[in-house]
Chains A and B, each alone.
Chain A
Amino acid sequence: MSDIVLETRDLRKAFGGLVVFDRLNFTLARGERHAIIGPNGAGKSTFVSLVTGLLQPTAGEIVFNGKVVNGQTPQERVKAGLVRTFQINTLFASLNPLESVALALLEREGRAKPSLAKVARESALLDEAEALLAKFGLAGELLTPTNMLAYGMQRLLEVVMAFAMRPQVLLLDEPAAGLSTHQGHELFAQLATLTAGTTVLFIEHDMNLVFRYAERVSVFAAGGMVMQDIPEKVRGDARVREVYLGA
């Protein structure tokens, strides 16, 4: 197969007695748009947390760009290009989008260390923050405190914050969670253009979106990954129908 950017080898995660998955061998090809589907509780979010280092695996290896990254902190993985968004908004409630994205860029460039220099000195980064927000359609909300933003805008900001880190692999945990079907479709159309060129792994429940935007699909179910294949094959698979599509 083509160049593999991310893979797991015999990955196992258990919370006490609850084995979320075992011997999970997952691959993500560079440049592809890949969906994870599966019922609630299948371990999709847990998988993303393991890959990004927010959780530690019980056993197995996580390989990014050919290197085992198990020992790396989440921050090291972010710097290396592995960035996620969260299923539940994980934002700076009292900061506005401009401040939030400015902070993201300052951290990306390692320019938030103790100093007495004004933020305003970072004109280039501040302009980049504004441009990025404008690109995602948030130009009108630069100064609205995040907790006052419409929910859909917050979901968008969630993606901008990750995208600002210039990820190699962007992991989107249910970016459309809580949005109406219409809003969800709008968001995905927007993401498809904006993230062109980035490897994207997304978790999504809406099958229309999955089959429209994913180039490959992984199906998770209680106990592990059922299959990983192109959408046409997944759609036609009996096991998938059984565990997820419910037919």
Chain B
Amino acid sequence: MNTPTAYFEGLARWKPLEIVFWLVLVGLFFVPGVNLPLLSQIIIWGLFAMSLDLLLGYRGILTMGHAAFFGIGAYTAGYLGKFGWTEPISALFLAAAIAAAVGLLAGRLVRSLGGIALLMVTLGLNLILYDFVLRSTELTGGDDGLQGVVIGQVLGMFKFDLYGKTAYLYSLAVAFLMFLIARALVKSSFGLALLGARENIPRMIMLGAPVGKDVSAAFAIAAAMAGVAGALLTQTIQSVSPDALSFQRSADVLVILILGGTARLYGGFVGAFVFLFLRDWLAQLNPVYWYFWIGLLLVVVVAFFRKGIVPSLGVLFTRMQKKRGTDERTPNRAAL
């Protein structure tokens, strides 16, 4: 390190592995016979998990209700499509805005809570919303979800096709844009403050930091991104059901993020790959018991990799670099 500025520049610089990661996602599109609908699902789950990472990984807020925001985005896109607003990109913006507004409120509500109380309140809010959607059959179609959702062409040019080609590229492009925003955010001074608050609240208070306000902000941003993920799901499968905001989804996204590793941004995407590929594969082998294997996988990963897949690979990678005699000071946080 020459100067402190150079050090922070280094933290924010794109690593080769990052570029490879996104190129691979683009490349998968061209692989013959590839399961594009599954890949779209993975991208959407990955984006969803990344939004949770902002809260859990970077700010240290454990929420059990994150699907609420996903669902709000999904239903926003659904209603728009049902009532004639078929243009998908503007619908994403609206979904993000509404989810962000609800996120801001939720953040205000829970920001003074911690630990078990926080867990219970976020779970409670999720359950209330789910139950409301399920019961308001007139409004939401209840169990069946919204009928007659129509989604127009992307940019007025690309129709959502049967093979899921448009869906995949569209999801990938949106997820990448969201990733760019999230990445800039965590590399900003605000991102550093999130880490500070995750590590030590009394210290942040003694730095005069507005602890609490940052929770609302983090919730709003994470909710907006979750909302975009939800809207993407609605748009790519052209329907929406209460599944979108079920507690099961809140639990699954947590599993995905922890599998992949927190505070890495990529953890959610990698976790989604593993989780959904396995689910797909296991569901073919035995459609009933696949959660058993997911559970087992979670136990194994947490027992042997502790911090999840991406951080563990990161440590391995730095060790290899060290053996080759390169700079040993590379903080493992920046490995990927």
Contact = CB atoms under 8 A, between A and B. Distances in A.
Interface in A115-166: 115-120, 122-123, 126-127, 129-130, 142-143, 145, 161-162, 165
Interface in B1-46: 1, 3-9, 11-12
Interface in B162-215: 181, 184-185, 187-193, 195-196, 199-200, 202-211
B274 interface: no
A103 B190 CA distance: 9
B4 A78 contact: no
A102 interface: yes
A207 interface: no
A233 interface: no
B207 A119 contact: no
A138 B188 CA distance: 24
A182 B199 CA distance: 31
A96 interface: yes
A165 B190 contact: no
A84 interface: yes
Chain B interface size range: 35 or more
A69 interface: no
B163 to A, nearest CB: 36
A120 B209 contact: no
Contact of B188 (A76, A99, A115): A115
A112 B189 contact: yes
B221 interface: yes
Q: Indicate the member of B1, B189, B195, B333 with the most A CB atoms within 10 Å.
A: B189
B89 interface: no
B202 A90 contact: yes
A24 interface: no
Contact of B187 (A54, A118, A143): A118
Contacts of B333: 94
Nearest to B207: A107
B148 interface: no
A113 B207 CA distance: 14
B251 interface: no
B98 interface: no
Contacts of B324: none
A206 B217 CA distance: 46
A103 B7 contact: no
A106 interface: yes
A74 to B, nearest CB: 5
B207 A118 contact: no
Contacts of A111: 189
Interface in B144-170: none
Given A92-B199, A118-B9, A119-B187, A99 B192 contact: yes
Contact of A54 (B190, B202, B210): B202
Contact of A98 (B7, B9, B195, B207): B7
B196 A54 contact: no
Contact of B193 (A74, A96, A106, A142): A106
Nearest to A77: B208
Contact of A90 (B6, B11, B206): B206
A79 interface: yes
A69 to B, nearest CB: 14
9 contacts: A90-B206, A107-B204, A114-B217, A114-B221, A117-B188, A118-B12, A118-B187, A127-B3, A161-B207
